[in-house]
Amino acid sequence: MNRDQLIKDLLEDFEPAHSEFQLNQFIIGGEVDAWSKYKQALREIDSRWVSLARQKDELELFDLKKSGFGFGRKARIKNRIRNRARKMMVRGIFETERELDILLELAVGLKEKLGTIDSEKRAVLETGSWKRKALKMAGVDLITTGRLGQATFNLVLALPKEDRLSVLSQLKQGSDPFKLIEL
């Protein structure tokens, strides 16, 4: 088998963008609750939707631009370069659409779980999410260093007084740090 064929065969396994596992477990799944996951999914969807529109426009412009390289060896080389560039553009669109489909499925499931979100519900979800994030950070700090880190403490201090007191009360009661990260 020649080297070019070997490379082509190996690249069949190459996924240039995020894997479904990465999207599920880290980009979205790393958040502390359904609300945070939903918001992150929406940010990711927005980013890819804008990117996809730009990629499609760029491909359309690329296709409209005449190659007109003429004939001969130089023209063949330029056409190969152009064909590879177009393949990369099409692959980028494919990968963005693949990621977008995964993210849409995640977002729809989270939206079903969250239901209708009005301003009052949004405020409750936001507050709860930041409290859970503070507790999770505290758990990680306690497990890794035995004390709260400055970033965690600053986050707790930034919470509204009632929520700050609630979080500090949970921490003062000697909560098991492993339970804090399982929120």
Q: What is the predicted pLDDT for the residue at 74?
A: 85
| 80 and 36 both lie in a single domain | yes
Please report the sign of the dihedral spanned by the C-alpha atoms of residue 64, residue 70, residue 71, residue 72.
Answer: negative
Residue where a domain terminates, one of 60, 85, 115:
115
Q: Which of 115, 141, 172 is the last residue of a domain?
A: 115
Q: 118-144: buried (b, 16+ CB within 10 Å) or exposed (e) per residue?
A: eeeeeeebeebbbbbbbbbbbbebbee
**Residue 110 shares a structural domain with residue 27:** yes
Do 167 and 86 share a structural domain?
no
Whether residues 65 and 139 share a domain: the answer is no
Q: Are residues 77 and 134 in the same domain?
A: no
Under DSSP, is residue 29 helix (H, G, I), strand (E, B) or coil?
A: coil
Query: Per-residue pLDDT for the chain (183 aa), expressed as one digit of tens each?
Result: 799 899 989 988 888 889 999 999 999 998 989 999 999 999 999 999 999 999 999 999 999 887 666 788 888 888 899 999 999 999 999 999 999 999 999 999 999 999 999 999 999 999 999 999 999 999 999 999 999 999 999 999 999 999 999 999 988 877 788 888 875
pLDDT at position 89: 97
**Contact between 103 and 41 (Cβ < 8 Å):** yes
Number of folded domains in the chain? Answer: 2
Q: What is the pLDDT of residue 138?
A: 93
Based on the fold, state whether residues 97 and 64 are members of the same structural domain. yes
174 with 101, same domain? Answer: no
**What pLDDT score does 176 carry?**
85
Which domain does 163 fall in, by range?
Answer: 118-183
Q: How far apart are CA 85 and CA 83, in angstroms?
A: 5
> Are 41 and 130 in the same domain?
no
Give the pLDDT score at 65.
Answer: 85
Collapse the DSSP code of 69 into the 3-class scheme (helix H, G, I; strand E, B; otherwise coil) and give the result: coil
75, 135: one domain: no
Q: Looking at the structure, do residues 5 and 40 belong to the same domain, yes or no?
A: yes
Distance CA 28, CA 98 (A): 16
Count of helices and strands (H, E) across the chain: 8, 0
Residues 124 and 107 in one domain: no
Residues 134 and 109 both lie in one domain: no
Residue 95, pLDDT score: 96
**Domain end: 74, 95, 115, which one?**
115
